[in-house]
Amino acid sequence: MSFFKEIGQLLKFRKLPESQKEIVFYAEHEGYYPNFEGIINILTKEFNQTICYVTSDANDPILKTDNLRIKPIYIRKLLSIFLGFLKCRVCVITLTDLNQFHIKRSINPVHYVYIFHSLVSTHMLYLAGAFDYYDSILCTGRYMIDEIEKYEQLHQLPAKKLIEAGYYRLERIYDNYLKYIEDTKNLSKADKTTVLIAPSWGVDNIIESCGVQLVEILLNNNYAVIVRPHPETVRRNPELLNDLQNRYNGNSDFKLELSVATDDSLFKSDILISDLSGIVFEYAFGTERPVLFIDVPQKIRNEKYTELDIEPLELQIRSKVGEIVSPDDLDLLPQAIEKLIADRQNYQDRIKILREENIYNFGESSKLGAKYILQILENE
């Protein structure tokens, strides 16, 4: 979309009645809509609230929504200006590092509500201060509240409103997986075990550090392979992904999935191979199946994360939801995969307990989140 069309979008937003832009959602790309979807559905369909949805993705399906209570706006090049002068009452956002870089808080009085797009802990895989400038945070579990409160105390920061919310995207995956199981129960089972490779992003993630070798071993051992890179890898390292596509082009057992907008590959796969990506939680807690971890160097974006003296949840759960294999022992992958599949029932029982212990309000998070946002409007 051209610069001048974005100007038109700014004017479109400005002309909206105040009542239709009291609540503004912002997403960088279409892949983040599943994190907002539950709350938006409750707000627009149960509480008849009109919201404005701002996206920086020109191909975001939300721009063509048929929900008349969603007013979609596309802003990308002018985003920092738009957000810097945003005039609304509540801004719901899943973008971290507000006020740390080019995206600043509005000069107007806006209440910023942060919604997580991952279940990882708040202190190792995010930059220091990533959540300092939000007014309210919809926390997914007790571990996040403990981490944020301790960080605030150590750095003498004003206390934010930490809400015991939950995580809608996980509920969405769980519900859709049950539907997938029901819809496919009478179909003949695939001849091959399907392995999903879905890592985090960064130089040491498993696609960039050992991806070719990993795929080669799996294909040679008669597995079907789906590679689902992180959106940041798609953006930052397209050459690597093009190489993978060209290398296995024509191999019916290989698929490269470049969008995270749908969760189909999570349902179809028998095993997930990952590192410390947040998809580990969504796969394990959403489908109740085990994960195989490749023990590449840990991705640490905040070198001072140890100051909290709290082990990140993504490290705590690895040995509880799956097996860990060294990148030097990739030849052991087939053996590890078969072991996980054979012990699937025990992992399922363990994963259910972990989900109950760590995730708030499973199945009810959207209504709680929507009511909290409306409460902000009433109180402020």
pTM above 0.75, yes or no: yes
Task: Report pLDDT digits (tens) over 37-90.
Answer: 999 999 999 999 999 999 999 999 999 999 999 999 999 999 999 999 999 999
Is residue 278 within 8 Å of 249, Cβ to Cβ? no
Q: Give the model's pLDDT for residue 324.
A: 96
Distance CA 294, CA 292 (A): 7
pLDDT of res. 216: 95
Confidence of residue 34 (pLDDT cuts 50, 70, 90): very high
By three-state DSSP, how is residue 248 classified?
coil
d(CA 89, CA 341) in angstroms, rounded, equals 50
The CATH code that applies to domain 170-358 is 3.40.50.2000
DSSP assignment string, 113-179? EEE-S--S-SSSSS-TTTTTT-SEEEESSHHHHHHHHHHHHHTTPPPPEEEE---HHHHHHHHHHHH
Q: What is the mean pLDDT of residues 357-369?
A: 98
In degrees rounded to 5, what are phi and psi of residue 80?
-60, -35
pLDDT of residue 1: 66
Range of lowest pLDDT (90-94, 175-179, 204-208) = 204-208
Evaluate if residue 96 carries a pLDDT over 90: yes
Q: How many Å apart are CA 226 and CA 210, to the nearest integer?
A: 15
pLDDT at 203 over 80: no
| CATH fold match for the domains 3-167+362-379 and 170-358 | yes
Name the percent of the chain lying above pLDDT 70. Answer: 100
Measured CA angle at 304 (ends 303, 309), to 5 deg? 125
Is 20 exposed, middle or buried, given 0-12, 13-18 or 19+ CB atoms closer than 10 A? Answer: middle
| Predicted pLDDT of residue 233 | 86
Strand runs labelled E in 56-110: 70-74, 90-93
The architecture CATH gives domain 3-167+362-379: 3-Layer(aba) Sandwich (3.40)
Mean pLDDT value across the chain: 95
Reported as a single tens digit per residue, the pLDDT across 104-124 is: 999 999 999 999 999 999 999
- Domain ranges across the chain: 3-167+362-379, 170-358
Average pLDDT rounded to a whole number, residues 158-175: 97
